[in-house]
Structure 1
Amino acid sequence: MSSGRKPMTNRVDWPVIYLYLALVCIGIAAVYSVEYTSFSEPFFNMSKSHMKQLTWLVISLVTGMIILFTDSKFFLAVAYLAYLLGILLLLATFAIGSDVKGSQSFIKFGSFTFQPGELCKIFTALALARFMATPETNFKTLKDRLIASAIVMIPCLIIVKQNETGLALVYFSFFLAMYREGLPNAILLIGFSVAGLLIGTLLIERIPLFIIITVIPLLATWFLRTQIKRNRIIIVIIAGSWLIAVLFSQVAVPYVFKNVFHGYQTERIYSMLGQDVPTEYQKPGEAVKKDAEYNVRQSKIAIGSGGFFGKGFMRGTQTKYSFVPEQNTDFVFCGIGEQFGFVGSTILVLIYITLLLRIVHIAERQRSTFSRVYAYSVASILFFHLAINLCMTMGLAPVIGITLPMLSYGGTSLLSFSILLFILLRLDADRQMLIR
């Protein structure tokens, strides 16, 4: 009886590949449907976005096959080197990058254009997994937590400087993977508290907000007075939290909106909240060409017009006649909603959820910390993209340029998600061998 390993075809997690191919095919059909104007137009027209996306699918599949037949230990060995390459590519955009829609985050080589920030998500996931898997790493210590955070935040800050805020926010999804490895609950509590304070800062005038921020710790001090008598550190924590909240809401947020954000970014955020931009944050010199609510309003109309079963494939009017801006990239979900309605949209979301659950299942069966952290990084990135994009198209989040994984048109985006998934499949195929 042979004691050799099973062939690759038996070790690959095929459900992930099936789900991946289903999403990519839906994406190409969605891109084609919003470009379609006449039955007389040939499908195989290389100037059209759907054919370019199909070409990128072929490139992605070839790359995926190469990854599947690469030694899985290779990704552990080159993790830091790949991360350094990613940082250098991000920095290179400031010297040789091309400006696309106000963002200097693309590099062009002839007719080939790619976005280093998309590829750097892969390198960051590998570097974070490598650091967490290092025997010397003790994630319970503050030092190692700060190092892991720095691995994530360095590319994030460079991308912010490129004026690509939406892509930069994706990097915060890595903290979900770190949470699985033991990041304290307090960190998540602080994160949600900061988000709530930010929304409050945008919706409430400064003086009333200051009063609210002051009253809450005073009440906390009153109710915890017995514990404070036993442990004076509690009052220090309450006072420190109050000071940080005041500085954040009264100083930091106003400074960012006045001096960091561009006019269109401020308008999108306040538009999502259903508010007019305050006079102090208005920047007439950077006024956007269209109403900040226009994209989201047209998106809602398109999705709502699909009803329960939709208008039918290639029968959408809002998307077919380009009422929805960026309908083959950031707002590709509108085409699904209009043409296939609530039923089609639900099926699409269920496919995504199934893929996410499958990745989590793969993550939990890994024997190595490296593979587990990487798998959770992939799941976190996909979840963040999916949640933000869907909320964005429905007006529940600001329009920040987050693509819908495997569906939105864009070669770099499709290739980066494909590489993320195929590296995961390769690591999973050798999970019995990887023990770091």
Structure 2
Amino acid sequence: MSQRKPEISKGIDWLVVWLYIILVFIGIMSIFAATYTEGDPVLQSFISLKTDYSRQLLYFGIAAVLAVFILLTDSKFFTATANLWYAFGILLLLLVFPFHTEVKGTKSIIRFAGFQLQPAELCKVFVNLALAKYLSRVETDFSKTRSQLIATAIAISPALITILQQETGLALVYFSFFLVMFREGLPAAVLIIGFSLAALVVATLLVEPNTLAIILTAIAAGAVYIMRRQIKRKRRLLAVIMGIWFVSVGVQRFVVPYVFETVLQPYQVKRIYDTIGKDYVPKDEAEALAMEQTAPAKKKDDGGDYNVKQSKIAIGSGGFSGKGLLKGTQTRYDFVPEQRTDFIFCTIGEGFGFLGSFTLMLIYFLLLMRIITIAERQRSVFSRCYAYGVASVLFFHIAINICMTIGLAPVIGIPLPFISYGGTALLTFTVLLFILIRLDADRQMVLR
């Protein structure tokens, strides 16, 4: 029997490939707009490898070679080696502790031969593979709590290690894999609890502690009164309501203060306070000094968050059609810190205005919808789970990064997919996407 050999063009979803190329091109031009020095020969600066946009072009070349290699790889390889890649990713994360290089307050980067590698970024691919592998096993019954806990451990373990490396932003990305679990049967109650906890945290920061405790008690008492007939029939319901009340008060009184005072860095706490519109005052001079020393790319003005304010000014100044390429004042004169990485969206907003920003978000929307379409047409559970993992990670990055630049989310330092400067990020998103393209190309082969 002849063995089928992968063909690079057979079954490839070229719409996804072209959307990817368009996004990378937009990214390179945005980095060029943010960092180009007037008077430099454009062609020479693009091939010099001394500028950020020339290096991003090099990273794209490497990513393109890697993408072709993935497209020539049999899709069975990814299912067979998923757990090995996960173990390799955990090993990389652990190697960060003895060999890390501290860059802008984070200890999650390994530097070698002039290049920087951030395992927490790359590990998203490995987690997606391992989670898809586990969920697709015949013996996995995801309706059981044990299976749900194992899947949660697969997704969250790298996040916990990443938090220890002072990279809270990337750690939060791993929680996007709960959307994959939800698609595969995770009870909606879990997501409701998650959103409720987030709302409770915000309420804890905004409302005086005793007042919030009284409000929570009143809500519990109201629930008992409204459900009094059901409680008479099911005594356990009263225990559930009281348990929720007890946990809520405990989170409000003890957990949130502990996390904000012990786990998070002072500058991270300030960013959260800035997002919800509340002033944060350091407890002492030592904490104020720590904020100055650890906050990456942080500047101060009259007490607000400098980065976000300048970003919103840049986006607003772009108006409807933008100022044009290389004509933005906020980004060209470096008023916005990290405008080639975390805040690159404001470069697009200032240069190309509402039309450019809307066009970019439309491209992202088309890409996400296409990935969901690909996910739903898979005959393999592994491929479907992996596809939803890709969509979840991309959606989280896009939503949080854009909201962060316009002040709707805390600045947690995660890149805009395919746009922000960075070799590790571009390679990670490329591998993440092209493994999906390869799996989709072989969807006629039913792989459990």
**Where on the TM-score scale, by shorter chain, does this alignment land: which range?**
over 0.9
Q: Distance in 1 between matches of 2:444 and 2:204?
A: 51
In the TM superposition, structure 1's runs of 4+ consecutive aligned residues that sit over 6 Å from their partners are none
1:103 aligns with 2:106: yes
Task: Indicate the residue corresponding to 2:10 in structure 1.
Answer: 10
User: Are positions 1:250 and 2:250 aligned together?
Assistant: no
Aligned to 1:191: 194
What 5-or-longer segments of structure 2 have no aligned partner?
Answer: 293-297
Q: Structure 1, residues 116-160: CA drift from partner, whole Å, max 9, x if none?
A: 011100000000000001111000000000000000110000000
Distance, in Å, in 2 between the alignment partners of 1:402 and 1:179 is 24
SS of the residue corresponding to residue 107 of structure 1 reads: strand
- Of 283, 290, 294, 1:286 maps to 290
Q: Distance in 1 between matches of 2:229 and 2:81?
A: 55
- Residue 403 of structure 1 is matched in structure 2 by 415
User: Which residue does 2:352 correspond to in 1?
Assistant: 340
Once the two structures are superposed, the pairs formed by residues 12-411 of structure 1 within 5 Å of their partners are 12-42=12-42, 43-44=45-46, 45-277=48-280, 283-288=287-292, 290-291=299-300, 293-411=305-423
Match of 2:176, as an amino acid?
Answer: S
Alignment length (residue pairs): 434
* CA distance in 2: counterparts of 1:366 and 1:411, whole angstroms: 31
TM-score, normalised on structure 2?
A: 0.95
Go from structure 1 to structure 2 and tell me whether the alpha carbon gap of 1:35 and 1:278 turns closer, same or farther (over 3 Å shift): closer
1:427 and 2:436 matched? no
| Corresponding letter in the other structure for 1:158 | I
Deviates more, 1:99-108 or 1:350-359: 99-108
1: distance between equivalents of 2:194 and 2:291?
A: 31
C-alpha separation in 2, matches of 1:5 and 1:37: 48
Counterparts of 1:129 and 1:389, CA distance in 2: 26
Q: Which amino acid aligns with 2:262?
A: N
- Report the secondary structure of 1:140's partner residue: coil
CA displacement 1:147-184 (0-9 Å, x = unmatched) = 00000110000000000000000000000011000111
Q: Distance in 2 between matches of 1:435 and 1:81?
A: 18
Q: Is the 8 A contact 2:8 2:68 kept in 1?
A: no
Within 2, Cα distance between the matches of 1:80 and 1:435?
16
Partner Cα distance (1:422, 1:412) in 2:
15
Are the aligned partners of 2:316 and 2:349 in contact in 1 as well (CA < 8 Å)?
A: yes
**Worse-matched range after superposition: 8-17 or 239-248:** 8-17
| Amino acid in the other structure paired with 2:12 | V
**CA–CA distance in 1 between the matches of 2:141 and 2:328?**
54
Distance 1:8 1:434, change over 3 A: farther
Q: CA offset at residue 281 of structure 1?
A: 9.0
CA contact (8 A) 2:169 2:414 kept: yes
Deviation (angstroms), 1:286 = 1.1
Deviations 1:175-234 (A, max 9, x none): 001100011110111011011101100101101011011100100000100110001111
- SS in structure 2 opposite 1:287? helix
Cα distance in 2 for residues equivalent to 1:389 and 1:281: 31
CA contact (8 A) 2:79 2:133 kept: yes
Matched position secondary structure for 2:102: strand
Q: Deviations over 1:234-284 (max 9, x none)?
A: 101100000100110100000111111111001111011111115659822
Seen in structure 2, the aligned counterparts of structure 1 residues 379 and 281 have a Cα distance that, compared at 3 Å, is farther
* Structure 1 segments unaligned to the other structure (5+ residues): none
1:303 to partner: Cα distance: 0.1
How many angstroms apart in 2 are the aligned matches of 1:30 and 1:285? 34
Once the two structures are superposed, residues 96-122 of structure 1 have per-residue CA deviations (whole angstroms, 9 ceiling, x without a partner) of 111111111011112121100111000
The answer as to whether partners of 1:258 and 1:281 remain within 8 angstroms in 2 is no
Q: Which residue of 1 aligns with 2:295?
A: none
What TM-score comes out, normalization by structure 1 length? 0.97
Contact 1:177 1:380 in 2 (8 A): yes
For the aligned residue pairs, the C-alpha RMSD in angstroms reads 1.5
Letter paired with 2:299: K
Contact 2:6 2:72 in 1 (8 A): no
Q: Which amino acid aligns with 2:290?
A: E
In structure 2, relative to structure 1, the CA distance for the partners of 1:404 and 1:232 (3 Å cut) is same
Contact 2:271 2:305 in 1 (8 A): yes
**Residue 37 of structure 1, CA deviation:** 2.9
Counterpart residue identity of residue 257, structure 1: F
Deviations 1:389-414 (A, max 9, x none): 00000000010001100000000000
